[in-house]
Amino acid sequence: MREALAEAEAAAAAGDVPVGAVVLDADGNVIARGRNRREAAGDPTAHAELDAIRAAAAAVGGWRLDGLTLVVTLEPCTMCAGAVTAARLDRLVFGAADPRGGAVGSLWDVVRDQRLVPVPEVIGGVLADECLNVILGFFAERRLAASRCCGQSQVSSAAVESPSGRGRTPRKRVRGQPLRGFKSHLHRSWLPPVCWPPASFPGPLADISRGDDPPDPPVSAAPTRGWCGCAD
């Protein structure tokens, strides 16, 4: 798992969500490595597991990976869980669970579905805290970088605020002109405070993901323009 964590760190350095994987032979030697490359490669299927499985198939000279073990820092998704079964891997070892998209016991259990053969051995929770902290740290840095480029909530027009800044300047309603002097919220243009995600992101483990977009903001929240809320 330490080797897989090293691959996860390399993924983070390249701008991808830190998920890493390695494939071990029967003696425990690393024969293949992989990491999340979705952003770097622009490939939606470039998950760490698939990267490692492809490298292992090239190393052994065939697609059947009997007797080999896949070690990955995050619970595989449905796509990767299916690849584990298709590759005939003997064992799957993963670190942190993924309640939002995991397919090895969290949302589904594709790998251990008895209707699919062969059924590999599954060992979960290995160095789970360390694997999770790598992901949380990655998103924490993203939030910090976003907060540096975004300002606080701003009012586009000073006319709608009182000179003292303590509140709105009241205006008298003019007879026969009901809208003249009426100050509605339409006079203000709201910019999001700092940025989405909020400071609590990613919050509980259920809010993290293996590189999917961050969770959508609540319906009541103001829309943003991109990850940090800044104009493109």
Q: Tell me, what's the pLDDT at 221?
A: 45
Per-residue confidence (pLDDT) for residue 175, from 0 to 100: 58
Between the alpha carbon of residue 207 and those of residues 19, 45, 75, 128, 223, the distances in Å are: 16, 21, 14, 16, 19
- pLDDT for the residue 142: 87
Query: Which among 49, 75, 121, 130 is annotated as catalytic?
Result: 49
Q: What is the spatial distance between Cα 138 and Cα 104, in angstroms, rounded to a whole number?
A: 24
Specify the pLDDT at position 88: 96
Tens digits of per-residue pLDDT, 104-158?
999 999 999 999 889 999 999 999 999 999 999 999 988 887 777 655 444 344 3
Please say if 49 is a catalytic residue.
Answer: yes
Which residues of the chain are modeled with pLDDT < 50? 152-170, 181-207, 217-232
pTM of the predicted model over 0.85: no
Q: How are beta strands 91-96 and 69-74 bridged, if at all? A: parallel
pLDDT of 210: 61
Residue 202 in tokens? 């990613």
Q: Where are the alpha helices (DSSP H) in the chain?
A: 2-13, 38-41, 48-60, 78-86, 128-149
